[in-house]
Amino acid sequence: MSKFKYVIKRSGAVVPFKKERIMNAIYRAAVAVGGRDKGKAEFLADEVVKAMEEKFPDGYKPHIEEIQDFVEKTLIEHGHAKVAKEYILYRDERNKRRRAAEKLASTPSENIPWAKIWKVLNWAVDHNLHKVELLNERIKNGEFPHIVHESEAAYEDDLTMAAEMIMERAKNLKMVFVSGPSSSGKTTTTFKLEQRLEKHGMRFVPLIVDNYFFDLELHPKDEFGDYDFETPQALDLELINEHLKLLSEGKEVKIPYYDFKEGKRYLNRTPMKLEKGEILLIDSLHGLYPAMSSEIPDELKFKLYLEPLLQMRGTDGKYIKWTDIRMIRRMLRDSVHRAYKPKQTLEHWHYVRTSELKHIIPYANTADFIINSSMPYEIALYRPKLLDDFKQWAEEYKDNPLREDAFIRASRVARMLESVVPVEDDSAVPHDSVLREFIGGSSINYH
């Protein structure tokens, strides 16, 4: 039994002290450098607590920074220099991000596709959709079906441009990556892109990256028992890279199979080989992540990036956050297709956001083309579906320091949805729309 009962967070909040949090932090750093020994992580966490107990008196409330100092020291003393370095880098990165959030950066980030965003904003201004008040006005005037038509046409134009760029390079291409953060619409976009290109004689073979997940027991998880599937280290990147290289050379590989019910991967299951003229089509969160295809020359791959780049100011004068749009989409999709409650999505979203800020968004500008998958009308459909839930979650998490992230997100989304004129009838939305992937009623078979 530890002598510590509480820990002080950076915000000043006092929360229960849990050794599991230390163990998970160590294990996460180990996974990032290729280690997957949970027993060793638990041993090292015990050593951290032991060292702290020797230094501090009974009843002492350690600050989170003090605990992290002990973690670094323990890792180095026990010969885990690589893990210590990853832990220090992660800690430093979090601190930098925290400081950046506290003061609005005056210089634009190189991670953001500014040229594309400017084009999307220009389109929104031209269609009176750059402010929630203007969207509300058009909805009240009975223009919802017309807004849907305009939004869908803009997305289809992007899709057509991407298809044309791929066709121009078809002679040398071996693989097309459709990448982007969670719920950006990759599945629908991949399907529609394939349809377009097949009409021009191109032939595709899908590679399901999910089959390369490590066994569930090897994944990091938090003190709530929530597994982190969002990090690229959850995937066997070395094996993916090896298979992509062999496939690009015309050789046969045996693809593994991942059983999600068992949480277990089975190697060497499905033979695969690219015949002459066939191209690999890969729909993946981490398609732009360098380690996934580092062995493949750039001329052999086309990298497409998706993001709902909504350019609309809320009634508070601030732009609606893309991450909030995607979180709502994932809530709706997962509640129908994955038996995952919307509340669980909210509680898990800190994993999603942390991983994409580190492993996805920094590589957006390495894409060959960017598709904007936002539909300015979608927030009007979300209000009647989820506003009451977000209000309830904001109230529930208000005084829970362990759920501070969920509280901030729930409060922000509740305010945004409350400002929008609700639309319950979604019959104007085409049945092959990217939005149908999330609200249901799609004519596309996703299985």
Q: What is the pLDDT of residues 341-396, one digit of tens each?
A: 999 999 989 888 988 998 999 999 999 999 999 999 999 999 999 999 999 999 99
Average pLDDT over residues 173-177: 96
User: How high is the mean pLDDT of the chain?
Assistant: 90
Residue 102 confidence (pLDDT) above 50: no
pLDDT tens, residue by residue, 106-120: 344 567 788 899 999
How far apart CA 400 and CA 415 sit, in angstroms, is 20
Question: 337-375 burial, b if ≥16 CB within 10 A, otherwise e?
Answer: eeeeebbbbbbbbbbbbbbbebbbbebbbebbbbbbbbb
**Contact in structure between 384 and 424 (CB atoms under 8 Å):** yes
User: What is residue 103's predicted lDDT score, i.e. its pLDDT?
Assistant: 41
Tokens describing residue 45: 């966490």
Percent of the chain with pLDDT over 70: 92
Q: What share of the chain in percent tops pLDDT 90? A: 64
> Which pLDDT value is given to residue 105?
38
| Predicted pLDDT of residue 223 | 59
| pLDDT of 132 above 90 | yes
Residue 17 pLDDT grade (very low, low, confident, very high; cuts 50, 70, 90):
confident
How far is it, in rounded angstroms, from Cα 390 to Cα 412? Answer: 9
Q: Closest by alpha carbon to 347, among 395, 388, 393, 308? A: 393
pLDDT at 87: 76
Question: Which structure tokens are listed for 208?
Answer: 């399901």
Q: Do 372 and 116 touch, CB atoms closer than 8 A?
A: yes
Q: Which of 230-239, 354-363, 432-441 has the highest mean pLDDT?
A: 432-441
| Mean predicted confidence (pLDDT) in 422-436 | 97
What lies within 8 Å, CB to CB, of 13 at 6+ separation is 401, 404
Please enumerate in sequence order all residues whose Cβ is within 8 A of that of 24, keeping only pairs 6 or more positions apart, or say none: 41, 220, 221, 222, 223
**186-206: average pLDDT:** 94
In this prediction the pTM is 0.78
Mean pLDDT, rounded, for 249-275: 94
What's the pLDDT score for residue 35? 83
Instruction: Determine the Cα–Cα distance for residues 273 and 248; give it in Å rounded to an integer.
Output: 9
Domains identified in the chain and CATH numbers: 6-102 (no CATH), 114-200+278-439 (3.40.50)
